[in-house]
Copies of this chain bind each other. A is one copy, B any other.
């Protein structure tokens, strides 16, 4: 399963050139690549072996070779020292995070654009899950006589809101009273724990009107939505499009990107398998057979908080994209740790 030095060098050269040109690579080109100091005939022999071992394929007999998933996999697993971003890009990242300020959502959204701009592929930024955040404040605001808004500020700066609809008019005073009753019970709790531990308390109370009923309604609405536990921001889907040549394929990939919870679970899945790169079928999604995903968690205050990722073609520029993801995830974590 392990390759000798020369074959590894040749494989690397093939992948590198294919990434650049998107054309099958012939032995002649490889022989001229730096580090390969053998003739094209020797390269040919080794390429034939590499094909037998499943690292390369020939689209047709008289053509050069193209990396298989296994080939890409070897390439990323044996990259040696991780690349640095080129100066201009590094500069861009620095000045971006120096200027980044304001709302969490805005920062995450802009970060996804930044990453997309750096890599020329689609970028995904998943915000910190609300799971872990505790409730800082609770408020009940009437919008119409029968509709009120439950507004909670979480410790990570995210705001959760729930619409409460009643089948009878509700007074502002009742809302205020309900909010007062609610606050001591839920402040300091997470959404989930607040929803769980507050329920039994409420079941004892009865009646369909008055503050107690409102409190009960509010508690019932607390539980975190299945799919909205974390925020997802996707940037640069348009850039990814240019990396493919069939419109139908682009459309399928966009369709996946539109289902944000699918993207989130894809990233989570990859991380759970202990990977930070998933190539082709490794993504587990059929329409992504020609795509690769790079994932990296970012740390806020030393704990993994969210995830960023890049989605591009299997022949993406791995060294550069890996470097970009690494730098951005590190800087983003830093930025969010400051508070």
Contacts and interface: CB of A to CB of B under 8 A. Distances in A.
Given A159-B159, A245-B247, A251-B241, A144 B258 contact: no
B149 A151 contact: no
A20 B90 CA distance: 50
A257 B237 CA distance: 10
A242 B247 contact: yes
How many copies, total?
Answer: 2
Contacts of A239: 251
B258 A236 contact: yes
A268 B31 CA distance: 59
A297 interface: no
A258 B245 contact: no
Contacts of A339: 143-144, 146-147
Interface in A286-321: none
A139 B237 CA distance: 37
Contact of A258 (B156, B162, B165, B237): B237
A161 interface: yes
Interface string A81-104: 000000000000000000001111
Interface of A: 101-104, 136-137, 139, 141-144, 146-147, 149, 151, 153, 155-157, 159, 161-163, 165, 235-239, 241-242, 244-248, 250-255, 257-258, 339
23 contacts: A101-B163, A102-B163, A103-B161, A103-B162, A136-B141, A139-B151, A139-B153, A143-B156, A147-B339, A149-B157, A151-B159, A159-B159, A238-B251, A238-B253, A241-B247, A241-B250, A242-B247, A244-B247, A245-B247, A246-B247, A247-B247, A250-B250, A254-B254
